[in-house]
Amino acid sequence: MAHDDKQGNPDSMLFWQGGLKQIDDLVQNVKNSSSAVGASSGSEKRNAVKNIVSVALDKEAIKKRAEEIASWKNPYDVSVWLFAEAETRLADAYVTVLDGTSASVQIDASKVVESPSREATDSLARAIYARRPGLPELHWFLAERRYIYEKVKGA
């Protein structure tokens, strides 16, 4: 996917279709191919009791957050890092796949990592950076992960 320096058009179809699937596929591939992401995400100490939370994905709320994130005007590499950190925080907690087609996602709140390790975040950030997603996509995915995290923590 080509790098896009536009500050984000949340109405773009990339947010709703192909972009969602591509980044989520990337995240799944990295998690499957790199034991470092899951093994060192900071979740080594896991609770045996599951605390499953269903999060309805409010696309309008996520869109608003993506617009706010775009207004920060972070450099590309910072946006990649923030997305990788947000995804690493949730990576081990997904009960259902976040694929852009469902209106909700289930998260095991007991597996959410408050402070993911630098190594796990770096590993995922490098994989994301290699794919060069556009800034609008990074803004959307960061907004989505933060939305999910806040809903899980507020539950």
- Per-residue pLDDT of 85-94, as tens digits, reads 999 999 999 9
Tell whether 38 is covered by a domain.
yes
Which residues are 106's β-sheet partners? 54
Tell whether 26 is covered by a domain: yes
Could you tell me if residue 2 is inside a domain? Answer: no
Query: How many structural domains compose the chain?
Result: 1
Regarding pTM above 0.75, the answer is no
**For residue 66, what are the domain limits?**
20-42+49-154
Q: Do 99 and 21 form a contact (C-beta atoms < 8 A)?
A: yes
| DSSP output for 20-80 | HHHHHHHHHHHHHH-HHHHHTSS-SS--SS--EEEEE--HHHHHHHHHHHHHT---HHHHH
In a domain, 92, yes or no: yes
| Inside any domain, residue 104 | yes
Q: Convert the pLDDT of each residue in 12-54 to its tens digit.
A: 434 434 444 556 666 665 555 443 444 444 444 544 568 999 9
Q: Is residue 107 part of a domain?
A: yes
Let me know if residue 3 belongs to a domain.
no
